[in-house]
Amino acid sequence: MIAVDIDGTLLPSAGTLVSERNCRALRDAEAAGIELVVATGRRQAYGAPLILPVGLKPETVLITSNGTVTRTLAGEAIDRFFLPVETARALCPALRPFGTTVFTFDRNGAGELVLESPENLRGRIATWVEANRSAILEVRPLERAFDEGEAPVQGMVCGGVEEMRRAEEWLEGSSLASRVEVHRTEYPTRDLTILDILPPGCSKGAALRRLAERRGLGREEILAIGDNWNDLEMLEFAGNQAVMGNGAPDLVVLARRRGWTIAAANDEDGVAQIVESVLRRFQGDLTSRSATRVAAP
């Protein structure tokens, strides 16, 4: 099994098209009998359209919203976890001093994303706001989003790197710490950090572990490829890891210290280079085993 992140990993730095070399490598891996899993912080509706053109099987698994929702590319449900309504409501005033909070609901159309004002986000993630405008519902105050009792699958607040590190430290020391899981995606060159706030125990790694157990796969049979801190649990669970050369600098340092593979950058088709090397070894092992069987008396 190969689990691969999207942004900063499978996608180039500019644009939303997976390169032909990356597409071909993933299709070749699938044809060779390796299961492909896409793991992303994006929600399903925002991630699946990027993966569909790759040409993978409809039953390809997508781990979305950083591990709270798992479905196939065709939309078949596998797992889903929610932030309790009372926890989500308590997060609204707690996070308001740090910036605009967005909640993701597992529904279709307007209201998938609920926030108080997209204008406050436009400066940092204008492209995201425009791409998701049809899914955004404005609610003031944000606490009203939970009046009907529907629970979200994910919360998010974003801002500058130092500002969000302070927000993360505050959350970790607050009474909410035991009620949420916090995952950081950091882009120092853009002075942008996204804090995803999830139900306790949720991560890409936890979702990958559940899937591996369903498949009867051991950690040593899994390769994870990522570029940022929200990939850490997935990288730590897998028996084989590759961190993109363009990844978050502190994560690349950690990867080198742990002896993990450092892939070429996303703009150099680093995913394809790693997958191609895996396929060469995989096919070499199959040839070797086949030769052994033929030579056996």
Cα angle for residues 243, 254, 23 (degrees, 5° grid)? 5
Pairing of strands 113-115, 192-198: unpaired
User: What whole-number distance in Å separates Cα of residue 61 and Cα of residue 78?
Assistant: 9
pLDDT confidence of residue 202: 98
Domains of the chain: 2-80+202-295 (3.40.50.1000), 85-198 (3.30.1240.10)
**Helices (DSSP H) in the chain: which residue ranges?**
20-31, 44-51, 85-95, 119-131, 161-173, 204-215, 232-237, 249-258, 270-295
Cis previous bond, 297, omega within 30 = no
Q: How far apart are CA 200 and CA 205, in angstroms?
A: 13
More confident residue, 289 or 279: 279
Token readout for 258 is 């742990």
Tokens of 205: 């790694």
Report the chain's mean pLDDT, rounded to a whole number: 94
The whole-number average pLDDT for the span 265-282 is 96
Determine the Cα–Cα distance for residues 192 and 164; give it in Å rounded to an integer. Answer: 8
pLDDT tens figures, 43-92: 999 999 999 999 999 999 999 999 999 999 999 999 999 999 999 999 99
